[in-house]
Amino acid sequence: MFARLVYESFRRQKRRKLLAGAAITLGVTVATAMIAVATDIGDKINRELRTIGANILVTPQEDTLDVEIGGVNLKPPSDGAFLNEADLPKIKGTFWHNNITGFAPMLPVTVTLQRDGKSENLTLLGTYFAKSVSFGKEEFKTGVRITHPWWKVSGSWPDDGSRDVLLGERLAAKLSAKPGDEVALSGRTLRVSGILSTGSVEDDQVVAPIALAQEILGKPGAVRRVYVSALTKPEDALARRDPKSMSGPIYDRWYCSPYPQSIAFQLQEAIPHSHAEQIRQVAQNEGAVLTRIEGLIFLVTLAALFASALAVSAAMATAIFERRAEVGLMKALGAGRFAVASIFFAEAMLLALVGGFVGFAAGGLLARQIGRSIFNSEIAISPVLFPVILAIAVIVTFAGSAAAIRNAVRLDPVFALRGEL
Amino acid sequence: MNAGGLHPMERHSARGVAAGRAQSPHTSMFVRMLVRAAVLRRGRAVSALFAMVVAAAVATAMLNLYIDVQAKLRREFRNYGANIILAGRDGASLPADALSHVESVVAGRGLVAPFGLLVARTSDGQPIVVAGTDFERVRQIDRWWSVSQWPSAPQQALVGVRAVSVVSPRNQPFDLSFQGHTIHLTSAGTVQTGAAEDSRVYLSLPDFVLWTGVQPSTIEVAATGSPEEIAAIMHQLQEAIPVAEVRPVRQIMEGEARVLGKTRATLLAAAALIILTAALCVLSTLMGWVFDRRRDFAIMKALGASDRLLNSFFAAEAAALGATGAVIGFVLGIGIAAWIGRVNFHAPVVPRFGVLPLVLAGSILVTLLSAILPISLLRRVQPAVILRGE
C-alpha cells in the first residue's frame, strides 16, 4: 500500500514532481560545480602564477660573489664554481617532481662582437629553450619557454641542438639586425633566428643554446645557475622553521609538504654541490595571492551551497503545501501522522536521490566546462565526493520539507478538505 | 519582518502603479487590498519576502565582490614590487631632480624607490656591487626582502647574505673604495632575497652620493591601477624625464593580468550560478504563493473586476515585494561583501551603489515573472471552478 501510494503520487503528479526534482537537480548541479571549482582553483591559479617566473634558484655551493650590474658580468667569466649539466635531469627525480613545471639552466659568457673594425664586449647567455630531457623512463620538455613565458620572440625560437641565436631587441636595434641575418661573435659566424624581447637585461644580450656558451667558455657541461619553476604551497609557520631543528615526524611533514623551502632543500639534495634558495620576490608573494584567491572562492562556494539549499527547500515546501487536500483525505480515511509524514519523506528521499544523481553528473560537466573555458584545462570532480553530495542533497531536501510536512500533518482534515487554512 | 514594516513601501509602490488612475475613488481600495493581502497571510508573505531578500542579498554581495576583487587583488600584486623601471640610457645616471619629478608624476598612485649601482672594491681588492638607496622607500616597495635589522644611522650598511663573508665575516666595521675614495661602514644587518641583492652591499643614498659623487641610475616605481592607468603613468614619466628609459616589468604585469582575468572569470561564473539559483528559489516560492491565492482571484473576478485591474493588482503586489526585498537584500548583501572583504582581504569591500538599480530591476523582474505566470494560467479558468475547489 505504502509503495503504491508513493508510486501513484509520482505517476499522477508528473508536473509537480518534475518541478521539485528540477529544483533539486539544479541545486545539486550548482553545489557540485562550485565544490569542484573550489577544490581545484588553488592548483589552477598556482599554474597561472608560474607565468611570473621561476621561484627557486639553484647556484653552485662555493660560488664567488656575483658582480653584475644591468646584466653585464664584471668578473672574469671562468671565475667561480659551476654546476654540472648532467646532474640537472635529477631535478625530476625528487619527491616533488610532479610539482616542478620546468627548469632552465643559464650560463652567461662574455663574447666579442666585431663591428666596423671595432670590437665590443657583449654577454651571451646560454640556456635551454624547449629541450627534451629524460630522467629514467620519463621524457619531458623544459627551458625558458616554460619558465620565462613573458619572453617574446619575433622570428623563430632556435633549436636547442643548433648554433642559432636570439638577439635582444635593443641590441638588434643597435646592430640593425633582422631574423635570418648572421653575426660574428668571438670568431664564430652565427645565424640569428629571432629577435627577443623580455623588457629586462636580456634585451641587450645574445641568447643561445647552452652548448654554444659552454663551447665559447671552453667548459663542457658547465652551468652557472638553474631557474626552477615549482608549484608550491603558501608558506606557514612550519615552513619557516629550520629543518635541522625538527624532530622526526615534524621533519617528515615538512619534507613532504610542497613549501618553497622544502622543494629547494630537496633540489639541493638532488644536485651535488649546489645551493638552492627560493626567490623571495616570487615565492613569498604568490603564497599571499594564492591564499586570497582560494579564500575568496571558498567563501563564494559557501554562498552557492546556501543558495542551492534554500532553492531546494523552497521548492519542496511549495510542493507539499499544494497537497493539503490530499493530506486531509488521507487523514479523514484514518491515516496517522506518522503514516502521512513517512509517505512525504519517502517521496522527498526518492526525489533527492534522483536529483542528486543527475545533479552530480551535470555539475561535473559544468565544472569541466568552466575549467575548459577559463583555464584551458580540465577541472575534474573526484568520485569520492559523490556520496557526500548525495548525502547533502538528501539532508537538505529533508530539512527543506520538514517544516512543510509538519504543518501538513497537523492540519485538521475538515479545513483541509474544504480548502481553508 | 512583520507586515507593519511593509506598509509604507507597499503603499508607495502601489501609488506608482496606480498613478495612471489618479483621483480615482478606487485608489484607496486598491491599496487596502494590497496591504490586507500581506497582513492576513502573513506566513506566506514573509516566506516569499525572505526568499526575495536572500536572493537580492546574494546577488548584491556577488556583484560587489566581482567589481571589487580586481582592486583588492591588484593591491596584493603590488607586493611583487615595481612594475615600472626608469633607468638612465646605457647605465648613465639620472638627473639629480629625477626623483622629485617621478614623485610628482606618481603622486599617491604608487611607490617610488631610487637605486644607484656601481662596483667598488673591498680592502683586500675584491670587486663588489654597492647600491645606494632610500631604506624607508625600499621597505615599502620591496616587502619580500628579509632583513635582520634595517640601518638607522649614517654610514651603516645593509649587507647581502652572500656578501657577508667577503666584507665583514665577523661583523666588524669595513672599508670600501671607489676611484680612490674610501668609505668606512658598519654593518647594521643582512638582507636575503634569493636573487642578485644577496651579493650586494646597500648604503643610504646620501652616503652613497657623498662617497662616490654618482647619482642614482634607476628608479623603481610600483604604480597602482588598471593597465591603462599604468600605461598613462609610464607615458607621463617619459615626458617628465626624457633622458630616461621607461619600461614596464613585463613578467609582473603579464602575470598579474592573467591571474586577475582568470579569477574574475571564475567569480563571474560563480555569481551567475548563484544568482540563477536564488532567482529560481524566489520564482518557486512566489509562484506557490500566488497559486495559493487563486480563491482571492476568483472572488475578485466573480465580483466583476476587469482583467486589467487584476493584472495590475498582482503586478503591484509583486513589484512591491520585489522592491522591498531588493532594498533589504541590498543592505544585507553590502554587509556580506564587507565581511568577506574583511575576512579574506583584510580590507572592507567598498559598497557600490551602482549595483542597487541592477539588483532592484532584477528583483522586480523576477517577482513580476513569478506573478504573471500563474495569473495567466488562472485567467483561462472560470471563477466558479476555482471557487468550488477543483
Q: Smallest Cβ distance to B80: which of A27, A281, A306?
A: A281
**Are B204 and B298 contained in the same domain?**
no
Q: Which range has the worst mean pLDDT, A44-53, A327-336, B169-178?
A: A327-336
Residue B328 lies in a domain: yes
Least Cα separation, residue B52 to chain A (angstroms): 11
Residue B339 lies in a domain: yes
- pLDDT on residue B6: 41
- pLDDT on residue B1: 36
Q: Which residue has the higher pLDDT, B235 or A2?
A: B235
**Are B283 and B379 contained in the same domain?**
yes
Three-state secondary structure string covering chain B: CCHHHHHHHHHHHHHHHHHHHCCCCHHHHHHHHHHHHHHHCHHHHHHHHHHHHHHHHHHHHHHHHHHHHHHHHHHHHHHHCCCEEEEEHHHCCCCCCHHHHHHHHHCCCEEEEEEEEEEEEECCCCEEEEEEECHHHHHHHCCCCEECCCCCCCCEEEEECCCHHHHCCCCCCEEEEECCEEEEEEEEEEEECCCHHHHEEEEEHHHHHHHHCCCCCEEEEEECCCHHHHHHHHHHHHHHCCCEEEEECHHHHHHHHHHHHHHHHHHHHHHHHHHHHHHHHHHHHHHHHHHHCHHHHHHHHHCCCCHHHHHHHHHHHHHHHHHHHHHHHHHHHHHHHHHHHHHHHCCCCCCCCCHHHHHHHHHHHHHHHHHHHHHHHHHCCCHHHHHCCC
Which chain A residues are closer than 8 Å to B126 by Cβ?
65
A2-25 pLDDT, tens per residue? Answer: 778 778 777 777 777 787 888 888
Residue B27 lies in a domain: no
Which chain A residues are closer than 8 Å to B51 by Cβ?
310, 314
Q: What distance in Å separates the CA atoms of residue A111 and residue A69, rounded to the nearest whole number? A: 17
Q: Smallest Cβ distance to A289: which of B77, B249, B281?
A: B77
Residue B12 lies in a domain: no
Q: Smallest Cβ distance to A307: which of B162, B254, B277?
A: B277
The average pLDDT across B331-339 equals 91
Q: Smallest Cβ distance to B144: which of A285, A300, A419?
A: A285
Which chain A residues are closer than 8 Å to B162 by Cβ?
63, 65-66
**Are B119 and B153 contained in the same domain?**
yes
Which chain A residues are closer than 8 Å to B130 by Cβ?
none
Q: Which residue has the higher pLDDT, B52 or B42?
A: B52
Average pLDDT, chain A: 86
Q: Smallest Cβ distance to A300: which of B258, B267, B291?
A: B267
Residue B5, pLDDT above cutoff 50: no
Q: How many residues does chain A have?
A: 421
Using alpha carbons only, what angle is made at residue A366 by residues A362 and A368, rounded to the nearest 5 degrees? 120
- pLDDT on residue B333: 92
Cβ <8 Å between B288 and A307:
no
Q: What distance in Å separates the CA atoms of residue B277 and residue A312, rounded to the nearest whole number? A: 9
Q: Smallest Cβ distance to B281: which of A68, A277, A311?
A: A311
Q: What distance in Å separates the CA atoms of residue A189 and residue A210, rounded to the nearest whole number? A: 17
Residue B150, pLDDT above cutoff 80: yes
Q: In terms of DSSP bridges, do strands B181-192 and B174-178 run parallel, antiparallel, or are they unpaired?
A: antiparallel
Q: Smallest Cβ distance to A318: which of B129, B285, B340?
A: B285
Cβ <8 Å between A148 and B251:
yes
- pLDDT on residue B123: 86
Which chain A residues are closer than 8 Å to B346 by Cβ?
none
**Are B212 and B231 contained in the same domain?**
yes
Cβ <8 Å between B77 and A33:
no
Residue B11 lies in a domain: no
The average pLDDT across A323-352 equals 83
Q: Smallest Cβ distance to B274: which of A200, A307, A418?
A: A307
**Are B272 and B352 contained in the same domain?**
yes
- pLDDT on residue A307: 84
Which chain A residues are closer than 8 Å to B69 by Cβ?
296
**Are B313 and B198 contained in the same domain?**
no
Cβ <8 Å between A69 and B117:
yes
Q: Which range has the worst mean pLDDT, A51-55, B6-10, B173-177?
A: B6-10
Cell, residue A145: 619557454
Residue B1 lies in a domain: no
- pLDDT on residue A419: 59
Q: CA-nearest residue of chain B to A287?
A: B76
Which chain A residues are closer than 8 Å to B47 by Cβ?
317
Which chain A residues are closer than 8 Å to B280 by Cβ?
23, 26, 311
Cβ <8 Å between A315 and B284:
yes
Residue B7, pLDDT above cutoff 50: no
Which chain B residues are closer than 8 Å to A41 by Cβ?
266
Most confident stretch, A137-141, A235-239, A327-331, A360-364: A360-364
CA distances (Å), A118 to each of A112, A113, A114, B152, in order? 10, 8, 6, 48
Residue B370, pLDDT above cutoff 90: no
- pLDDT on residue B389: 62
Q: Which of B205, B227, B248 is at the close of a domain?
A: B248
**Are B175 and B271 contained in the same domain?**
no
Q: Which of B248, B283, B314 is at the close of a domain?
A: B248
Least Cα separation, residue A220 to chain B (angstroms): 25
Q: Which range has the worst mean pLDDT, A209-218, B24-33, B62-71?
A: B24-33
B282-297 pLDDT, tens per residue? Answer: 888 888 777 777 777 8
Host domain of residue B62: 33-74+259-387
**Are B100 and B159 contained in the same domain?**
yes
**Are B327 and B355 contained in the same domain?**
yes
Write the single-letter amino acid at B82. A
Residue B7 lies in a domain: no
Q: In terms of DSSP bridges, do strands A56-60 and A274-278 run parallel, antiparallel, or are they unpaired?
A: antiparallel
Instruction: Give long-range contacts, CB 8 A cutoff, 24+ apart: B20-27.
Output: B26/B309
Q: Which of B225, B248, B271 is at the close of a domain?
A: B248
Number of domains forming the structure of chain B: 2
Cα pseudo-dihedral A206, A207, A211, A215, rounded to 10: 10
Q: CA-nearest residue of chain A to B278?
A: A307
Least Cα separation, residue B284 to chain A (angstroms): 6
Q: What distance in Å separates the CA atoms of residue B333 and residue B282, rounded to the nearest whole number? A: 16
Which chain A residues are closer than 8 Å to B295 by Cβ?
419
Least Cα separation, residue B22 to chain A (angstroms): 36
pLDDT band, very low/low/confident/very high, at A148 (cuts 50, 70, 90): very high
Residue B21 lies in a domain: no
**Are B98 and B218 contained in the same domain?**
yes
**Are B175 and B229 contained in the same domain?**
yes
Average pLDDT, chain B: 84
The average pLDDT across A350-354 equals 89
Q: CA-nearest residue of chain B to A375?
A: B262
Residue B141, pLDDT above cutoff 70: yes
**Test mutation, A39, A41, A52, chain B, max B CBs within 10 A:** A52
- pLDDT on residue B69: 87
Least Cα separation, residue B75 to chain A (angstroms): 10
Cβ <8 Å between B277 and A27:
yes
Q: What distance in Å separates the CA atoms of residue B288 and residue A308, rounded to the nearest whole number? A: 18
| 3 state SS of B246 | strand
Which chain B residues are closer than 8 Å to A26 by Cβ?
276-277, 280
Neighbours of A421 (CB within 10 A): 13
**Are B236 and B88 contained in the same domain?**
yes
Which residue has cell 475538515?
Answer: A414
Q: CA-nearest residue of chain A to B161?
A: A65
Neighbours of B205 (CB within 10 A): 20
